[in-house]
Amino acid sequence: MASFWKIIFKNSSVSQALRSELEDDVGFLVRPWPGLLGFTLRYLVYKPLFHRLAGMPFIYPGVYFLHLNHISLGQGVLINSNSYIYAKGGLSIGDNTLISPNCAIVAGDHDFSHGLIMESPCLNQEIIIGRDCWIGANVVVVGGVKIGDGAVVGAGAVVTSDLEPYSVNVGVPARKVGERPRGPVTLS
Ligand SMILES: CC(C)(COP(=O)(O)OP(=O)(O)OC[C@H]1O[C@@H](n2cnc3c(N)ncnc32)[C@H](O)[C@@H]1OP(=O)(O)O)[C@@H](O)C(=O)NCCC(=O)NCCS
Q: Under a CB-based contact definition with an 8 Å cutoff, are residues 106 and 87 in contact?
A: no
Cis before 173? omega within 30? yes
Any domain includes 150: yes
For residue 152, how far is its CA from the centre of ligand 1 (angstroms)? Answer: 9
Residue 154: what residue type?
G
Q: Name the residue at shortest CA distance from atom 32 of ligand 1.
A: 177
Q: How many angstroms is it from 156 CA to the middle of ligand 1?
A: 10
Cβ 107 vs Cβ 70: under 8 Å: yes
Span from the CA of 154 to the centroid of ligand 1 (angstroms): 5
Considering the domain boundaries, does residue 36 fall inside one? yes
Give me the helices (H) in the chain, please: 2-10, 14-30, 35-46
- The backbone torsions φ and ψ at residue 46, rounded to the nearest 5 degrees and listed phi first, read -80, -25
Phi and psi angles of residue 171, each rounded to the nearest 5 degrees, phi first: 95, 180
Q: Return the higher-pLDDT residue of 36 and 16.
A: 36
The span from the CA of 67 to the CA of 77, in Å, is: 18
Question: Within a domain: residue 187?
Answer: no
pLDDT per position as a tens digit, 57-115 = 999 999 999 999 999 999 999 999 999 999 999 999 999 999 999 999 999 999 999 88
113: in domain: yes
Q: What's the CA gap between 100 and 80, in Å, rounded?
A: 5
152 lines ligand 1 (CB under 6 A): yes
168 lines ligand 1 (CB under 6 A): yes
User: Which phi-psi region, left, alpha or beta, contains residue 44 (left: φ > 0; alpha: ψ -120 to 50)?
Assistant: alpha
pLDDT attached to residue 64? 97
Domain extent at residue 117: 2-177
Q: What pLDDT is attached to residue 17? A: 87
Q: What is the DSSP string of 66-82?
A: E-GGGEEE-TT-EE-TT
Within-domain flag for 184? no
11 has pLDDT over 70: no
CB of residue 78 inside a 6 A radius of ligand 1 = no
Give the Cβ contact number of residue 98 at 10 Å. Answer: 17
Ligand 1 neighbourhood includes 136 CB (under 6 angstroms):
yes
* pLDDT at site 119: 85
Ligand 1: residue whose CA is nearest its atom 20: 154
pLDDT at 14: 86
How many structural domains comprise the chain?
Answer: 1
Domain for residue 188, yes or no? no
User: Going by CA atoms, what residue is nearest to atom 17 of ligand 1?
Assistant: 170
14: domain CATH number is 2.160.10.10
Residue 37 falls within a domain, yes or no?
yes
Asked whether residue 186 is domain-assigned, the answer is no
